[in-house]
Amino acid sequence: MRIGIYGGTFNPPHLGHLTAAKAVFELLKLDQLLLIPAGIPPHKPLPEGSASAEQRLEMTRLTGEQMNLGDRVQTLNLELEREGKSYTSDTLAAIRQRYPEAELWLLMGTDMFLTIQDWHQPEKIFDLAGVVAFGRSGEDTESAFSRQCHRLYQAYPNARIHTLTIPGVIDVSSTELRDRLARGEGAHLLPPAVYGYILRHGLYGVQADLKHLTFPQLRAVAMSHLKYKRVPHVLATEQEAIRLAERYGEDVTKARVAALLHDTTKKLDMEEQMALCRKYGIELDELEQKALKLLHAKTGAAIARDVYGVDDDIYTAIFWHTTGHARMTRLEKIIYLADYIEATRDFPGVEELRRVCYEEGLDAGMVLGLSMTVEEMKARGNPVHSATLAALADLKGTREN
Ligand code: FE
Ligand code: FE
């Protein structure tokens, strides 16, 4: 097994880190990449206004998820947990213990590579792992790399070194990036979910009123709440909500906001959902107390209102997006259906449901969508929520009148 180890302060992690990690993963055919935010770095004390250790860990995790490699990319809090200064040699020794048979490769950027002889116990580092250094393509980097390789091989004859220059690697230091963020710039240098996380927590002097975000900001914030694999669903729901709102004369802005925030709490587990229910005084019926899937609509609506300041129309559209209910508003129907038929959905009958939604009207779409849900729940032997049955009865009644 070949394992890459990428440490750094990740304060914050940015697209430069992400591009390099992706390139090395492919070039070295790694089986596993470990991202390790540093605790107290020996070479540079963290500047004031930095994110906390937990925040750097979470931003690093969000960045790792963007590689879309599932379990093959992991973020470890190895160095954050350890007391005192964090030395790379200690980290490598700990990883060697965990994976005695693995081939270890330590990833690093240009600056680190050119100073590695000054680190704590460099001989131990070269003994435990190979070193992969990467920098931006260009003659400067390449000649500096080859001079350094020569020096290192003389001092550490058994060293294994790979250097590579990556075209298009984003060459930005975290220090420079923090300055730019404080001036309201630099968002494009971050994975969107990381930018959203920074906005939510007001890190690095980024000041945003969460109740009045622009759409790009709101989209980034929404992504920071989601598992990476759910991002396409939410973005497609936004697009579908826009189309439905335009088709049926609904407020497009409200539809977009509701769509972007509708699954905000979807990744939370039962305990976290319950904590939010207590916080926001959300009462649950017997079915909801057991059905994790049903809770995210209610807790998501509460977060949307409390944190992001949405109005009652958007609040109820999120609140009812999973079950529906009797006497639904037009916006509620649009969010329910956009979630159901968005472009990434692929299940038997979705084409017909899309056609009905656009050609026969929202109510006809709701009747078909709700009926399909009821049938599916019955087929799986799952109980159907009373609000879903009420929605269906109500709409059928309306349509027959
Ligand atoms: Fe949902
Ligand atoms: Fe959804």
Whose atoms come closest to the Cα of 230: which ligand? Answer: 2
Residue 401 binned pLDDT confidence (cut-offs 50, 70, 90): very low
CATH code, 276 = 1.10.3210.10
Ligand 2 centroid – CA 234 distance (Å): 6
Ligand 2 centroid – CA 349 distance (Å): 18
Model pLDDT for residues 193-248, shown as the tens digit of each residue: 999 999 999 999 998 999 999 999 999 999 999 999 999 999 999 999 999 999 99
Whose atoms come closest to the Cα of 322: which ligand? Answer: 1
**Whether 116 and 264 share a structural domain:** no
Q: Give pTM, 2 decimals.
A: 0.91
Ligand 2 centroid – CA 230 distance (Å): 8
| Domain end residue (candidates: 144, 170, 196) | 170
Model pLDDT for residues 60-81, shown as the tens digit of each residue: 999 999 999 999 999 998 877 7
Three-state secondary structure call for residue 6 = strand
**Whether 199 and 160 share a structural domain:** no
**Residue 368 contacts residue 353 (beta carbons within 8 Å):** yes
Ligand 2 centroid – CA 206 distance (Å): 29
Q: How many domains does the chain have?
A: 3
Ligand 2 centroid – CA 136 distance (Å): 40
Three-state secondary structure call for residue 186 = coil
Give yes or no for residue 400 having a pLDDT over 60.
no
Cis, peptide link before residue 12, omega less than 30° from 0: yes
Contacts of 297 (CB under 8 A, 6+ apart): 262, 318, 319, 320, 321, 322, 323
**Whether 206 and 250 share a structural domain:** no
How much of the chain exceeds pLDDT 70, in percent?
A: 95
Q: How many CA atoms lie within 13 A of 117 on its CB side?
A: 10
Residue 47 binned pLDDT confidence (cut-offs 50, 70, 90): low
DSSP labels, 123-162? HHHHHH-EEEEEEESSHHHHHHHHHHHHHHHHH-TT--EE
Residue 46 binned pLDDT confidence (cut-offs 50, 70, 90): low
To the nearest whole number, what is the mean pLDDT of the chain? Answer: 92
**Whether 326 and 181 share a structural domain:** no
Residue 399 binned pLDDT confidence (cut-offs 50, 70, 90): low
Ligand 2 centroid – CA 275 distance (Å): 21
Three-state secondary structure call for residue 80 = helix
Averaged pLDDT, 158-165 = 92
**What are residue 166's DSSP bridge partners?**
136
Averaged pLDDT, 285-307 = 92
**Whether 114 and 209 share a structural domain:** no
Tell me the backbone φ, ψ of residue 49, rounded to 5 degrees. 80, 10
**Whether 359 and 328 share a structural domain:** yes
CATH code, 6 = 3.40.50.620
Give yes or no for residue 23 having a pLDDT over 70.
yes
Give yes or no for residue 183 having a pLDDT over 90.
yes
**Whether 198 and 336 share a structural domain:** no
- Tokens representing 71 are 């379990």
| Domain end residue (candidates: 153, 170, 187) | 170
Residue with tokens 């963290």: 46
**Whether 213 and 282 share a structural domain:** no
Ligand 2 centroid – CA 233 distance (Å): 7
Averaged pLDDT, 119-131 = 94
**Whether 207 and 263 share a structural domain:** no
Question: CB 83: neighbour CB atoms within 10 A?
Answer: 7
Model pLDDT for residues 105-117, shown as the tens digit of each residue: 999 988 899 999 9
**Whether 239 and 379 share a structural domain:** yes
**Whether 240 and 339 share a structural domain:** yes
Ligand 1 centroid – CA 96 distance (Å): 42
Q: Which of 105-114, 119-128, 380-389, 390-399 has the lowest mean pLDDT?
A: 390-399
Contacts of 55 (CB under 8 A, 6+ apart): 197, 201, 203
Ligand 1 centroid – CA 223 distance (Å): 14
Residue 102 binned pLDDT confidence (cut-offs 50, 70, 90): very high
Structural domain of 11: 2-170
**Whether 249 and 391 share a structural domain:** yes
**What are residue 82's DSSP bridge partners?**
none
Give yes or no for residue 324 having a pLDDT over 80.
yes
Give yes or no for residue 190 having a pLDDT over 50.
yes
Give yes or no for residue 82 having a pLDDT over 60.
yes
Give the H or E element holding residue 349. Answer: none
Whose atoms come closest to the Cα of 296: which ligand? Answer: 1
Model pLDDT for residues 343-364, shown as the tens digit of each residue: 999 999 999 999 999 999 999 9
Ligand 1 centroid – CA 138 distance (Å): 47
Ligand 1 centroid – CA 339 distance (Å): 7
